[in-house]
Amino acid sequence: MKKIVIVGSSGHAKVVIDIVEHEGKYKIAGLLDRFKNIGEKTFDYEILGQENDIPLLIKKLGLSGVLVAIGDNFTRAKTVSQIIELCPDFPFVNAVHPNSSIGRDVVIGCGTVIMAGVSVNPSCSIGSHCLLNTNSSLDHDSSMESFSSLAPQACIGGSCRIGAYSAIGIGASLIHGIQIGKHSVIGAGSTVLKNIESLKVAYGSPAKIVRERKEGEKYL
């Protein structure tokens, strides 16, 4: 079985570890976290170091891939960029829970995490390093650009588009054909009836834009 390393050791990383274990495609060699000491553990997995240690660990442990388990879209993107700079050809792997439903003609980019209970209907396109949280759904012919995310129970209608780095909050819903720009955030429980441009924060039922936001601004 191919060995991988997971970047992150938080609560989100625990969920990712659980998915990898259930999927059974990879063996987790350990975790990387710059904020914890080497030897500390999450579940049964030790902290081996941080991202800068990946080139050494590839040779030492015979690693075949890496998965970034960081919930914040922009922080995840920065970490991915750092790893690519260190190891341009080192592959990012996916984690797809066996208790998810992936329809026909679905394209999934590298480094993407799909959690338990997720439903992705036919002809959807999911970019690299996306996050589809527990019981979220993406209806037919919809797309998620790279580094975007769906929180638990988010419901996306058919033929929708979610721009890069954008985050759809817990229990939020988009009706068919909605387009969300890049780096935008839709608040928990919102119902989106109109398109939302890039760099906006919107919430409510129906969702309304409440303010602008900057790239990389925290939202979790």
Cα 136 versus chain centre, distance: 12
> What pLDDT shows up at residue 220?
83
What is the end-to-end Cα distance of the chain in Å, rounded? 34
Q: Which residues contact 59 (CB under 8 A, 6 or more apart)?
A: none
The predicted model gives 6-11 an average pLDDT of: 97
Domains detected in the chain: 2-86 (3.40.50.20), 95-205 (2.160.10.10)
* pLDDT at residue number 174: 98
The pLDDT tens digits for 132-145 are 999 999 999 999 99
- The pLDDT value given to residue 8: 98
In what helix (H) or strand (E) does residue 93 lie, and over which residues does it extend?
none
Q: What's residue 66's pLDDT?
A: 98
Q: Compute the mean pLDDT over every residue in the chain, rounded to the nearest whole number.
A: 97
Q: What is the pLDDT of residues 49-66, one digit of tens each?
A: 999 999 999 999 999 999
Identify the sign of the CA torsion 95, 188, 186, 158: positive
| C-alpha closest to that of 70 among 96, 108, 32, 98 | 32
Confidence class of residue 165 from pLDDT cuts 50, 70 and 90? Answer: very high
For 131-175, the DSSP string reads EE-TT-EE-TT-EE-TT-EE-TT-EE-TT-EE-TT-EEPTT-EE-
Confidence of residue 116 (pLDDT cuts 50, 70, 90): very high
